[in-house]
Chain A
Amino acid sequence: DADVTQTPRNRITKTGKRIMLECSQTKGHDRMYWYRQDPGLGLQLIYYSFDVKDINKGEISDGYSVSRQAQAKFSLSLESAIPNQTALYFCATSDRTGLRGQYFGPGTRLTVT
């Protein structure tokens, strides 16, 4: 089984709709992250969490919110989706050392029409 899972894998939604992307991990890591990938821009950090009680904004948090329901679960919400939020979204985890980098989920392709 995959260590980091994301649901859904693909989603098409309409402008103005609320949508939640979910991430679960079995690696036992305390740090979790949400990234967005746009063509030609690499990955950009949206939010990150040290643990359940510690959530921080990343580079591009406007229009997004997150919830860390448990150590293993970290959800990303778009309160009112807009077309320029069409992108590939990745969840990732890291242990405290960071020595092995981050472990990434398979990604969610989100299209906002």
Chain B
Amino acid sequence: AQTVTQSQPEMSVQEAETVTLSCTYDTSENNYYLFWYKQPPSRQMILVIRQEAYKQQNATENRFSVNFQKAAKSFSLKISDSQLGDTAMYFCAFMNRQTGANNLFFGTGTRLTVIP
């Protein structure tokens, strides 16, 4: 079974500063994807960034980037130049590609508050 751990229930950051959210996972599989989802107060789940396990290069999407350490099973999210609109719950998620079901296993989330 896959488990995903987010050890920071809450974090805060000053506007324009940088913040890093942590995520670790446990799996015996080699073929998987990792994702970060954002859930603002509207409660909509929004994909922020993804990482394919077979790629060594860390994914980047504008102000969002990841630090993927496969051997350590670590997948952290860095948000640069934080904006008020980044205030949300952030969920790390694991997808096992082996079965083809594409099920997602989620961590418990980190509530991020951006302070003006």
Contact = CB atoms under 8 A, between A and B. Distances in A.
B33 interface: yes
Interface in A61-113: 88, 90, 92, 94, 96, 98-102, 104, 106-107
A102 to B, nearest CB: 6
A101 B50 contact: yes
Q: How large is the interface on A (under 10, 10 to 19, 20 to 34, 35 or more residues)?
A: 20 to 34
B103 A48 contact: yes
Given A42-B109, A43-B91, A98-B33, A104 B101 contact: no
Nearest to A58: B103
Interface stretch (B11-19, B68-76, B92-100): B92-100
Contacts of B100: 50, 96
Interface residues of B, number: 26
Nearest to A94: B102
Contacts of A90: 45
Contacts, number: 62
Contacts of A99: 33, 50, 52
Interface of B: 4, 9, 33, 35, 37, 42-45, 47, 50, 52, 91, 93, 95, 97, 100-109
Given A33-B103, A43-B45, 18 more contacts: A31-B102, A40-B9, A42-B109, A43-B91, A43-B104, A44-B106, A45-B104, A90-B45, A94-B102, A96-B100, A96-B102, A101-B35, A101-B47, A101-B93, A102-B104, A106-B42, A107-B44, A107-B45
